[in-house]
C-alpha cells in the first residue's frame, strides 16, 4: 500500500512540475518561480524549488529546499538527487556522500523502470563525492605539513638569532 501511495505521489510530482519545467527549459526562471510558489502541495513546491534553484545556480538554496522536502518524503528520488548534486557543488563531501548513497538505496527500492537510471546516477554522484572527500583529506594533510614546516622555520629563525646574540658577546670595557 505504501509503495502504491509513493507511486501516486511521484505521478503527482510529474504533473505538478510539468509547467514549471517548461518555463525552466525556456529560460523563464521568474515564471517558473511564480508557478512553484503557487503550488498548493508543499512537497511538490519544495521539489520544484530544489530543481529550479539548482538549475538557476543556487546550490545552497536547492540543498535547503531538497532537505526540507526530504523531511516530508525521505525516499523521493528527485529530491535526493538535487540534494546530492547541490552538496557536491558546494563541496560538502560528507553530505554529498550521504545523499549519493541514499539515492542509490532509494533507487533499489523503486519498482518502476527508472530505478536503474537513478541507481546509476547515485553511483556517479558517489564517485564525485568521494573525490571531493579525498581532495579534502589531501588538503588537510598539506595544511598540517605546511604548518609543521612553518613552525620549524620560525624555530630555526629564533635559534639563529639566539646564537648570533650569544656569539656577539658583551664588551668588557665600558664606553666612558
- Asked, for residue 162, whether it belongs to a domain, the answer is no
**Amino acid 60: pLDDT:** 95
- Asked, for residue 128, whether it belongs to a domain, the answer is yes
- Asked, for residue 152, whether it belongs to a domain, the answer is no
Domain of residue 48, residue span: 2-133
- Asked, for residue 154, whether it belongs to a domain, the answer is no
**Amino acid 126: pLDDT:** 85
**Amino acid 10: pLDDT:** 44
- Asked, for residue 103, whether it belongs to a domain, the answer is yes
Write down how long the chain is: 176
Q: pLDDT, tens digit, for every residue of 123-173? A: 888 889 888 888 888 988 999 999 999 999 999 999 988 888 887 766 666
- Asked, for residue 171, whether it belongs to a domain, the answer is no
Q: How many domains does the chain have?
A: 1
Q: Identify the DSSP state of 92.
A: -
**Amino acid 108: pLDDT:** 80
CB 27 within 8 A of CB 21: no
Q: How far is CA 114 from the centre of its chain?
A: 24
**Amino acid 147: pLDDT:** 93
Q: pLDDT, tens digit, for every residue of 4-57? A: 333 434 444 556 688 888 888 888 888 888 888 888 899 999 999 999 999 999
pTM for this model (two decimals): 0.69
**Amino acid 6: pLDDT:** 37
- Asked, for residue 71, whether it belongs to a domain, the answer is yes
**Would the pLDDT of 85 be above 80?**
yes
107 sits in which H/E element:
helix 93-109
154 sits in which H/E element:
helix 115-168
**Amino acid 64: pLDDT:** 96
- Asked, for residue 146, whether it belongs to a domain, the answer is no
Query: What's the CATH number where 84 sits?
Result: 1.25.40.10
Amino acid at each position: 500500500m505504501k509503495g502504491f501511495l509513493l507511486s501516486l505521489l511521484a505521478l503527482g510530482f510529474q504533473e505538478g512540475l510539468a509547467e514549471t519545467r517548461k518555463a525552466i527549459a525556456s529560460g523563464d526562471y521568474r515564471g517558473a518561480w511564480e508557478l512553484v510558489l503557487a503550488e498548493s502541495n508543499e512537497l511538490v513546491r519544495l521539489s520544484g524549488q530544489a530543481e529550479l534553484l539548482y538549475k538557476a545556480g543556487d546550490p545552497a538554496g536547492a540543498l535547503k529546499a531538497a532537505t526540507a522536502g526530504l523531511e516530508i518524503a525521505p525516499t523521493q528520488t528527485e529530491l535526493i538527487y538535487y540534494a546530492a548534486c547541490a552538496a557536491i557543488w558546494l563541496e560538502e563531501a560528507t553530505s554529498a556522500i550521504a545523499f549519493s548513497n541514499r539515492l542509490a538505496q532509494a533507487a533499489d527500492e523503486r519498482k518502476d523502470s527508472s530505478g536503474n537510471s537513478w541507481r546509476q546516477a547515485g553511483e556517479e554522484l558517489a564517485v564525485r563525492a568521494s573525490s571531493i572527500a579525498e581532495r579534502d583529506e589531501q588538503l588537510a594533510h598539506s595544511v598540517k605539513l605546511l604548518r609543521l614546516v612553518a613552525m620549524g622555520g620560525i624555530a630555526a629563525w629564533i635559534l639563529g638569532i639566539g646564537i648570533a646574540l650569544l656569539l656577539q658577546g658583551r664588551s668588557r670595557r665600558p664606553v666612558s
